[in-house]
């Protein structure tokens, strides 16, 4: 049985739930939120939809004990207004750290043995804190990290070159936040290194990277939150775990070198993070990665 859990039913959490049910991915789904009425409303809404679907998902609510046999648990709590007002996802850290402090003991007490995918902000720092408080292995706890930022880069580059974003490969690394960077040395367009394309002579790579970074704020300022793209990223990672896809993608994974979670390429399979992938970055990219990772490490150290 494909059993999922979601803690936090804001715009991201409910979009994850809707996707899992309507795309016929989940056989069973556990929904938990601090607001009982909201959890019940989301349960009913999903149950009402199923008379028009080809599959049935068993939806239960508000029971941490029901997490015991969940395979994939998403943590999606947050308050995006905090970060959008300040323009920095780290502004949410105090809020989400308090959430982690409350829910981590409950998750552990449930006997949960699956994989946790964190979608809270600031993703890297709060994933580090979540892993520390649960005591689960670093394989089993990871975050969406720069998986979405990389998709935004693919869109921006695709628009610039008039190609499908799926024809763009490469990575945005570092913090899922203001210190992230595009590893341009890794970017390929239709199999060719972007830096060697004839058109690249006229590119402002810093401008392209900034456009990708600002994508989140443009969405959030326009509709008040982000939901669809990040939920899609979360579901894709969950499917990679369930199918043991050994998908290579950037996530918020643990870096032994910097002793913190940070946006880094990894192989995602049935055990969660199967392996961290080391990229041959340029000297400038190595410096940016080190600076970003150190900032995350220091921020978590102040909390714990």
Known binder of ligand: residue 244?
no
Could you say which of 3, 89, 152, 176 is catalytic?
Answer: 176
Q: Six-digit token pair at 290?
A: 């080190």
Residue 266's beta-bridge partner residues? 249, 276
Residue 58's beta-bridge partner residues? 28
Known binder of ligand: residue 11?
yes
Alpha-carbon distance of 295 to 258, in angstroms, equals 10
Known binder of ligand: residue 120?
yes
Question: How many Cβ atoms from other residues are within 10 Å of residue 94's Cβ?
Answer: 10
Alpha-carbon distance of 130 to 77, in angstroms, equals 12
Known binder of ligand: residue 44?
no
Known binder of ligand: residue 8?
yes
Known binder of ligand: residue 33?
yes
Known binder of ligand: residue 130?
no
Give me the torsion for CA of 200, 203, 209, 210, rounded to 10°: 180
Active site residue 176: yes
2 neighbors 26 (Cβ within 8 angstroms): yes
Alpha-carbon distance of 272 to 13, in angstroms, equals 20
Alpha-carbon distance of 241 to 159, in angstroms, equals 31
Known binder of ligand: residue 10?
yes
Alpha-carbon distance of 289 to 283, in angstroms, equals 10
Q: Six-digit token pair at 203?
A: 């590119």
296 neighbors 262 (Cβ within 8 angstroms): yes
Binding region: 8-13, 33, 119-121
**Which residues does the annotation mark as catalytic?**
176
Binding region for NAD(+): 8-13, 33, 119-121
């Amino acid at each position: 049985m494909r059993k999922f859990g979601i803690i936090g039913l804001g715009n991201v959490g409910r979009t994850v739930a809707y996707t899992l049910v309507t795309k016929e991915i989940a056989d069973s789904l556990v929904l938990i939120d601090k607001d009982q009425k909201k959890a019940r409303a989301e349960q009913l809404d999903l149950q009402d939809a199923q008379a028009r679907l080809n599959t049935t998902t068993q939806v239960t609510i508000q029971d941490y004990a029901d997490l015991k046999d969940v395979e994939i648990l998403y943590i999606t709590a947050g308050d995006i207004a905090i970060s959008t007002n300040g323009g920095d996802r780290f502004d949410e850290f105090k809020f989400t750290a308090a959430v982690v402090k409350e829910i981590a003991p409950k998750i552990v007490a449930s006997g949960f043995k699956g994989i946790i995918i964190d979608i809270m902000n600031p993703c890297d720092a709060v994933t580090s804190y979540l892993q520390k408080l649960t005591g689960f292995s670093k394989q089993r706890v990871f975050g969406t990290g720069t998986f979405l930022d990389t998709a935004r880069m693919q869109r921006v580059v695709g628009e610039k070159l008039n190609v499908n974003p799926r024809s763009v490969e490469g990575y945005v690394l570092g913090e899922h936040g203001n210190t992230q960077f595009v590893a341009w040395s890794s970017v390929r367009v239709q199999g060719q290194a972007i830096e060697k394309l004839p058109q690249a002579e006229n590119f402002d790579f810093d401008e392209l990277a900034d456009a990708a970074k600002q994508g989140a704020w443009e969405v959030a300022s326009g509709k008040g939150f982000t939901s669809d793209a990040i939920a899609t990223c979360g579901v894709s990672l969950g499917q990679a775990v369930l199918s043991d896809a050994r998908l290579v993608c950037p996530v918020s994974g643990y870096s032994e070198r910097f002793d913190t979670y940070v946006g880094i390429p990894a192989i995602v399979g049935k055990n969660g993070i199967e392996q961290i992938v080391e990229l041959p970055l340029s000297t400038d990219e190595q410096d940016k990665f080190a600076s970003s990772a150190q900032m995350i490490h220091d921020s978590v150290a102040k909390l714990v």
